[in-house]
Structure 1
Amino acid sequence: MNQLPDRVRGRRRVVARERVVALDPMPYVPPEREQDFLETLRRLWRHRYLIIGCAVFLGGTAAAVAMSMPSMYVAESRVQVGVPPVRYLNVEAIVSDVSPDQERVTNEGFVIQSRDLAKQVINRLNLVKDPEFNPELQTPSRWSRYTDIGQLVPKSWLAWLKGIKGGGEDKAPSAIDPVAARDSHMIDVLLSRVDVSVLGRSHVLGIKVSSANPQTAAAISNALADIYLDYQRQEKVKASERVEKFLTGRISELREQVRKSDQAVEEYRKRYGLYKGQSSGVTSQQLTELNTQLIQAQTAKTEAESRLAEAQALRKGGMGGESVPEVLRSSLVSSLKQQQADAERKAAELAAAYGPRHPLIINARSEIANIRARVAAEVAKVIDGLAREARAAEARYDAIAQSFDQLKGQMGNVNERAIELDALERDAAVNRNLLEAMLNRAKQTIGTEEIQQANAKLVSPASMPAGPSFPPKALLVFLGAVGGILVGAAVALMREGADRTFRRADQIVAATGLPVIAMVPQLTGGTPPQVHVLRKPTSPFSESLRRLHIGLELSEVAESPKTILVTSATPAEGKSVLVASLGRLLASNGKRILLVDCDWRCPKLHQLFRCSNRNGLAGLLTSETAALDDFVHHDALSGVDVVTAGEWTPQSTHLLTSERMRIVLDALAPDYDQIILDTPPVLVGAEVLAFTRMVEKVVFVVRWGHTRREATLEGLKQVIEAQADVAGVVMSRVVPKQYKQYAYGHASYEYARPVMARIG
């Protein structure tokens, strides 16, 4: 090879891009690939074993639970709530009790399920002798040996746990009443068997009691209804007695309060000579006007302080005062900036013709410095004016606020005595109204204890049920199986919906409109892919790389592309391994291939080919007299040439997108059949977009089942907006066994380029 010439002798191919792809925020889905019913069935079929397992598990669990549950009988009695009692003194009260609201009916249902009524039912029916409700009479069931965990725990541990639960205090055995504990447990058992509900939209409560004995269920339901009716009447009698006692004492107190409040009003009027009709209208108007002015002054103060704070923040943040809005609106500053731009342009023109010490250059620099000083002075004046404006607004706000406070004090003194008089008069009126109300109520309540009756009645007593109503074993098994199917289907659809990656070639075609020119399988075992293509040139992995090469050849009608760029959206998509494997495969077939590692952030080619990374692309671009042979590494196994990334520095990375990079590619093109560039991911390195203008074709790599669709579409969007000629997409690291579940008989490889669709 010759040394890199100063001017390019080779021709530069101009890529004609006749159409620009429209990019939308949402992915475009052709009508033929919409998610219809058949697509949903296919998704469920992929997870059929999961769905069947959930159905079998939940159905078997429901069957086991249903078989272990004892049969229960349910008896129901019905009580109507809101029956109007006989009233002799107040007809309006009778009418109001005819139609109680739904909330009241619900509250009465909670009363029926109270612990007091349950205790009375236990005592009346002598349920202490019933083993179903008394735990002391129960015998261990056949399931107790499997469900009682206490049998497996040592007694010392149980005693220690009980001590912690009781706070560590030593209690005497006499402190715990075994009878009270037994009664409390029986009440809990009884209430767990009682269900009180409202029948439809009526005022009738249904009292359902479940029990293993049908006679016991009917007896408990009827006893609970009778005790509730008696309890309601007793509560009304007690309430009447409490009201009568309260009214008698309250009336005597109110009489004394009315006398004292009337006397206090008259004495206050005489002492200060107050009459109604006095007002403070003028003072109130002044206070309103000052309030309006105060709001305006506060707004002006806030605006001035915000403008000053913004200007000071910009100067402290290192942005300079030139970005202050007031400075930008200044015509003088704009004129000086225009003069500065003209002077800098003139200095740049002189610098191109003369040396740095030429008198004209020195004068131009002096002129630029003077203009910059004048700009800085004008900016300082504008900021100082903002500070004076803020101080003036603050002084005006303080003066108005002081006048406002003085007027408020004056207003308070004027109205203070009138307000106190109004308060005294209101207290006197309230006391008189309370006294009249108490007297009227006392006349109605005296002697009503003897005629009180419950506002409910027993509509239908409970009868002994003919058969068990719980549990519905067949229904439980059916619901368990159906629930298992639904749970399995929901889990399967959630797993499918959470998969935001590409699994099929037609998904990429539908979302991007670009063809999938190759699907490269993932290799298993210890052989590296770049070695596998040499050892097994007829393997599926090698064939997929040949498909990629043929796809690139067919992407151009006139001639094969000379320079090819391989990129991806994100890291870890197998891009570098793909480039190394493709280069070795083509070189072993007799082609002259050059691989260039342009990923200076994470270079890989020198590791894959086990060569030095010292003399690479970085040295080739920075050296003025570079010999190409010193920077090209020859692979003895396949004959492919490699240009590694080299040792880059942050100061020299701009050379990747410079004109010198284009010159290097044009100088290398005549010596090779194809030059393949391994570039950084699009979403990581911005220089990839500039590389796309230097090559003939771009290959976009997407990792199967790994790269998210949003990242892929965003990367392709940036590449296409850079007017790159994208040959197609390559799906890398495809798992063949898993791919069969998503294929549905679709072809794995597509060569024909469809009509360009939208990318979202």
Structure 2
Amino acid sequence: MNLSQFLLILRARRRIILITLLLTVVTTVVVSLLLPKTYKASASVLLNAKGLDPLTGVSVPGQLLPGYMATQVDIITSKNVALRVVDRLKLADNPTVQAQFQDATAGQGTVRDWLADLLLRKVDAVPGRESSVVEISFKGSDPQFVSAVANAFAEEYQRLSILLKVEPMKKASQYFDGQIKSLRDSLEIAQGRLSKYQQENGIVSVDNRLDVESNRLNDLSAQLVMAQGQAIEAASRQRMASGDAGQSPDVANNSLIQNLRVSLGNAESKLAEVGQRLGKNHPQYLSAQAEVDKMRNELNAQIKSVSGSVGNNAQIMRQREAEIRAALAVQKSRVLELNRTRDELNVLMKDVESAQRAFDAASLRSSQTRIEGQSEQADIAILNPASAPTEATSPKLVLNTVLSVVLGGMLGVGLGLLAEMMDRRVRAESDLSETLGVPVFGVIDWKENKVSSRTLGKPFTARRVRLN
């Protein structure tokens, strides 16, 4: 079928097409006038696009996720919000609604659930494109009712979002309360062990005491080195004094021995002088000899005494060295014991510090969670509340009429083509060649004559003959 054949069919079946079009348009107009008017009210809510908690100022990464807007739309159209709207508007308390519920469900279920399902069928939430605004719409036959329901959905969504954020915080706060009690007990136990250990070991401050004991150990080490040097020196002097006492510096530098040696020298000089003048048996010579022997005996006795004192000094030095070495060993043991005590005390102090840090962190988090659980701040704000619409959104008479013209025309064309297929007729010369499969040699253009007494019996008159 080419275009010319299609146009010829439409021309031949124009009556069916026009009747179908007219019936469609009339039916659409009548139905549009008979349908009840439907009103639509919309309320806009703004989500916090910055992703910041209004209380703590901490960034909320959940609001940056791609599915955040879709999640909010699901919350708006959830049954929980619808039930809250039913309770807010007190729809279940209306006797008329209760009667309608009994007629519709025969008493099965609850009025609240039935009303919530009805509201969810007429509510719609549409997020804005590339924005954080969500438009909540509701359709109904009463302008005041649809605006009230739209605003109720927006407000209950806002309250539910607060509840969804606050309820986990309250549960977390209860959890932290139990943890804080346990951590406080652990801290008290750790502090008790530390105090008991300090009391048992008499420790006030390990660091200061260790410094004192370390300084004392260093002093004893220095004294031991000095005592060892003095002992070695005293032992050397003792050996010299016990061997050749006259060469000992302690003996030679003794003032009394020096005086005795001078006196002995004078006495020997006097004896030599007397020996030159007198004989050995002379009383003066004997007296001088006795004086020299006396002086020599005193000198030897004094040398022996000084040598003995050097030995005693060496013995004292050795004893002092031994005492300092023993004191140093005791001090070392004391310092080592203090080091062990400090290590054990540090472990206990670290246990206390660890328990304190855990307790402080839990207390801080518990305080913050408790404050957040008591917060009524929401990251959702009502941008534009719904107002009662003045014009109905449906039925739209003009739009429906235009659509009925289009649909009626298409339906009429379809019916015309269907009628043509059921009663196929020759509309053009190409129909003969396609149907009969023979060539067309000529076409006669004719017109129907008007019926009159002169043309009776001659219905047609040939006007022109065209040969192919």
Please confirm whether the aligned pair reaches a TM-score higher than 0.5, indicating the same fold. Answer: no
Bigger radius of gyration, 1 or 2?
2
TM-score, normalised to structure 2's length? 0.44
Structure whose residues are more often helix by fraction: 2
Higher RCO (C-alpha 8 Å, min separation 6) = 2
